[in-house]
Structure 1
């Protein structure tokens, strides 16, 4: 574990510890600290706007984990995204800030700015492409100059997608050229639900989708080269033989995150880029009807301020119960799981990708528990990996995706030992 100087008393500070995701992160950090050599080499604190609510979170975690010492031994830092001085003071006390305060398009940048200016590394669980890419555009050079790492999207579902594709590349014997991933959710008898914060991110993200295209033009990137055969795009809705259910393109940040990783590996490591298309299963015919009706209503409503107000005020109604203000129950979380299956194709060793069609295939899979459990585990393990293997990260700072940042580290192994299972299903 990296040493902590007298001016930086904490390895990790969890900002937004009172939020739905933040509470799971608190418990995971507590577990990791208890498991570290001597039981106390990983030092940490919680931060947020309300001291009372932070005390309640520590009390709840102490009860669930049977660690009464959390109520007295863990420091509380009061910090607010609207008060720049409080963020600066927070960042000056920690080596890594885990930012769990979303939606990030509204609350993320002040924390990134404070981390860069005060020399603290930054990690978040954002699934918002516009925020993630804008932070890269505006803060990469500043972070590089300050020796600070800013690493977004370190939770579910971007970690399984980004690292899952890198795992597939490593397992493929030859030149992997294209991958499709299929995300499936498995729920217990009580079903599943997402938290309101995720729903809000989706509402505002779709409403402002035009800005993302303008943002990407500012990078001035040349298109990544297409190696081998170009993959044909599937229709918006189709029945997938791979997972035997109706399927649509995944609308989250996975494609954005993976493409940024592939660009980094192509430009910095001279690796052959992989075409990537993520999909998610939605179920049977009844689910298709709900999607079409709900999706049409959603697309109309996000275009107007009143519509967005209604969507964010009544998430359960307009998402058909998929998202709620309270989020999933602990029983739902304990019963839920996911799988992400990667179908790749390419050219076997010794085959020239410029000649003919792909002649080799591979199928890999990443499986894990509920997304909130995976998010907490993945976020904490990225922080621990950063603290322990700083020498293996790219350059000396900057804004990166998880795959780009941790490509040469033991993060794969750390996650495999805790929350995710990577496997090869077949290799033809």
Structure 2
């Protein structure tokens, strides 16, 4: 739940600029409404502050507002008004004055009750707050005060009484209908002009409702914390909960948020553990080295992969998976090179052993079939071996075979020479 507030600077400048050079009595009531709704967010003002006439006649009612004197007659919306500049008046000494795009005044000279109301769209079961800054000079708890609240379809008021000279009036209620009548009732029981000035008049979801929805949005239908919940989201909802004043409600929300906080904390531990395991696969503990450690095995990679599978942040998880793939590729290449060397060593060792009696160089004798070609072929295979220790041992065996073959060939040649000499001597007889 990312809250955004977008205010059109150009629009605001245009409106304010107009109000500076234009008398208030010809400011459009539509301008009053638009100025009060420039902020677009997830908790808009439900009150339509437009005071347009319902009919373009000398005597009229309002399009968006209803008026009366008390809860039992406001729905009838009986009073009619006439206009003089920015002031809308009844015939019995009550008027509504539009002072600015964000301020109106209820002016009462009749010493009677004056009530204005509006139907606003609400969601049953959700909590809303009506709010307005106000001034009410020379208030009196019995003869000059006002009520603010909501009225049920059975004309039962849910309201609060305000008797101070100024301040911010707030009343919170839980909606029982899809359209709720909200009202302000000015109570004046003495003679003389009484003016109740209201500014920043609004009806919005309460701070508790916003915080509650913020918390609820973090959880799946089965009660599990959503995988997308992160610290930024946590901080936003915490800020909303901090605004709730009811201690019991606040604690209930905090308890739920703490579950999400624990989930984020657990995710952080899992992420850090997985990252450490992945980094440990590489030289200098960084995949940018493009080399794995000598100690990196398939088991180490598999263990790191299992830890990465527990990471919930998709971006981080993808990056770690790429590093795992790199480590696997490097290990596969390393293993392939090791296997190739092993194959070379096995081939060379087999060829060398086959030069000797019983395929054993320690026999200190070569087979009758061992000739120079066989030794040369074995030597060619030994030359391909890269391990210096293994290669040196095989070369020693090649040298031994060569010496044995040379000795054998020398003995054969000596015997041949003797035979040739004897044969020659015999023939000469």
TM-score by length of 1: 0.18
Q: Looking at CA atoms only, which structure, 1 or 2, has the larger radius of gyration?
A: 2
Higher relative contact order (CA 8 A, sep 6+): 1
TM-score scaled by structure 2?
0.18
